Amino acid sequence: MFIGRFRLFVLCLGTALVAGLGHASTITYSDPNAWASATTGTSEITFEGIAPPGSFTNEGTSTGLTIDGTQFIGQLTASTYMLNVTDQLYAPPYFNWNEPATLESPIYNLPADPTFVPYIHVVLPSNTTAFAALLGTVSPNSLSYEVTLSDGETFTVGTSARPTLTFFGVTTDDPITYANFTLLNPGTFSGSYGILTNFQVGTSDQSGGGSGQTPEACTLILIGSGLVALRAFRNHLPAFG
């Protein structure tokens, strides 16, 4: 029985060592309360007050829009840009998402370079290990996003019909330098674009257990088997004196 426990202990120890050499632990959230519980030092960008009431502002440049150290760039093709901040009262009901203002992604109108997929490139402040946003799509509603992190990890996020925005959050062990938000499968829909608002950044606090995580089974086995192995080892030590 001791040999079996020892083998399991070695297997779990090896698994833990391999995991420790892999990618940083990244957790995604669809529940804003769970993300908030796993994050500290958060700040939020609502884009409110940038666009005149009932109108929009054009932020489609290579430097885009920077607010509180977070930079938003709407990349339309490899060399052209498109990004708007739009007040909720503009062109109803398309921008009425029950939020004061939204960030509008480049429009999917078969750009000059048909091989290029438009997206919002978000450059995050230094040492950011958590971010979150509310997402939606127009023409049509309910398209999905591909969110790509600076370390190459990608996540697919489905959205809902207007006026419901979808929450997406991330925490990770290592800093994230940027995130790209790209609409998936816009198909032949002329004028499809994405909506992003209430962008939050912060510091991951995964160790606090705010997301309701519990120790993995292997972790418990490592602890329990380690104690058993230690006791067995002590019992087999030769007596001195």
The predicted-structure confidence for 76-104, as pLDDT tens digits, reads as follows 888 999 999 999 999 998 899 999 999 99
Q: Write down all domains in the chain, each with its CATH number in brackets.
A: 2-15+213-235 (no CATH), 28-208 (2.60.120)
For residue 24, what pLDDT is reported?
A: 57
pLDDT value for 80 = 92
Question: What's the pLDDT at 108?
Answer: 85
pLDDT over threshold 60, residue 176 = yes
CB 27 within 8 A of CB 173: no
Q: Is residue 70 within 8 Å of 64, Cβ to Cβ?
A: no
| Edge-first strand listing for the sheet containing 178-184 | 65-67, 70-75, 119-123, 178-184, 144-149, 154-158
C-alpha to C-alpha distance for 185 and 200, rounded to whole angstroms: 26
CA distance 22 to 6: 25
The pLDDT of 42-59, averaged and rounded, is 98
